[in-house]
Amino acid sequence: MKHSLRSRLWHSFCWSSTLSISAAATAGFAQAACYSTPRAATEAIRPGSALSPVSEGAGYRVTGIQSDPVLGRRWAIVSSCDHTGWPVSAVQISGSDPAAPSNRIPVTSVRSIPVVHAGDIVRLWKQEDLLRIEVAGVSEETGDLGKIIRVRLLRRNADDQAIQERFSGIVRGPSDVEMQP
């Protein structure tokens, strides 16, 4: 039960960085008229908009709509009319996605999902101007992003005896801990 909840939350977290395409709003944007600014292009697609397009071949046009189901936001994908090879940009459309609020996960709950568990093997690292140190260790605590945890290193001396060393570090990601001084 606990594992399935963690799995569902992790799956939702991954989708927060990936925007899903809203199929209902993509029809007809490719041949849309061009407007003077990206914001004007997004305002022109709203129902009842009275904005008039600029001359063909110059300005910006909306080529699609994407929806973020986790945050409940919608984005208009805007491209340049006269430079079709330029990268597209995303402009947030005012209001929220009416389909998303039921699936929305509060950001605070995503942040509190443990990404390192006690007993996990982690990469402990430290970055300075001209030096980077990385070692493998075992986490002694469970931690979510930004939490300080203890990590134990095992090394062997010349007599083949294990010597334990402990460090504290900040959890930066799954199996990724930044060493603290």
Indicate whether 128 and 80 sit together in one domain.
no
158: domain CATH number is: 2.30.30
29 inside domain: yes
Indicate whether 143 and 61 sit together in one domain.
no
**What is each CA distance from 43 to 18, 36, 60, 174, in whole angstroms?**
24, 11, 12, 41
Indicate whether 80 and 152 sit together in one domain.
no
Above 90 in pLDDT, residue 43?
Answer: no
Q: Using CA of residue 50, residue 51, residue 53, residue 54, what is the dihedral sign?
A: positive
Virtual torsion, Cα 127, 141, 9, 4, nearest 10 deg: 140
Residue 54, amino acid? V
pTM here is 0.40
164 inside domain: yes
User: Which of these ranges, 11-20, 46-55, 94-103, has the smallest mean pLDDT?
Assistant: 11-20
Domains of the chain: total = 2
**Could you list the residue range(s) of the whole structural domain that residue 64 is in?**
2-105
Distance CA 61, CA 41 (A): 5
Do the strands 176-179 and 121-127 form a parallel or antiparallel pair, or are they unpaired?
parallel
Above 80 in pLDDT, residue 5?
Answer: no
136 inside domain: yes
Indicate whether 101 and 136 sit together in one domain.
no
- Please give the mean pLDDT across all residues of the chain: 74
111 inside domain: no
